[in-house]
Amino acid sequence: MLKATVASSPKGKIVLVDSITKVAPEDKGAHVLSASHGGASSGEFALEVPLASAFFNDAGVGKDKAGISALDMLQARGVAAGTISHETGRIGDSQDMWDNGVISHANALAIAAGLKPGLRIKDALLALVG
């Protein structure tokens, strides 16, 4: 299971995790790209460590928008969050999401930070920590 820091600068770091359950205290303040679905249970794991942003796979969005429900939860707690389209990044494979993923949904905090739907996640996050 992948967990890797792919960029780090005084402006922040970017961590890839195949599962949001692998986020740990040393990831505090990081931008995390997780290959987990963006549902409520993933949002709860993401809230265990204060993150700069958290991105997930939209898992096709699903019934009652279950695949993106973490975005509102994280917005309410002051965390920028979004999802990568399941059509551009494989669920469970954060490296594939990093290499190919396109943002499909984002909360208001993410959009304000420049992490907008339609952008490649790699380009958008690298621009933040540049």
DSSP annotation of 30 reads -
Tell me if 74 sits within 8 A of 43, measured CB to CB.
yes
Q: How far apart are CA 44 and CA 126, in angstroms?
A: 25
Burial environment of residue 98 by CB neighbours within 10 A (0 to 12, 13 to 18, 19 or more): buried
**d(Cα 42, Cα 94) in Å, to the nearest integer?**
14
> Structural domain of residue 50, as residue ranges?
3-129
pLDDT (tens digit, 9 = 90+) per residue, 43-75?
A: 999 999 999 999 999 999 999 999 999 999 999
Number of domains, the chain: 1
**Cα 104 vs. chain centroid, distance in angstroms?**
11
| Predicted confidence band of residue 1 (pLDDT cuts 50, 70, 90) | confident
- pLDDT class of 78 with cuts at 50, 70, 90: very high
Whole-prediction pTM: 0.96
With 90 as the cut, is the pLDDT of residue 130 above it?
no
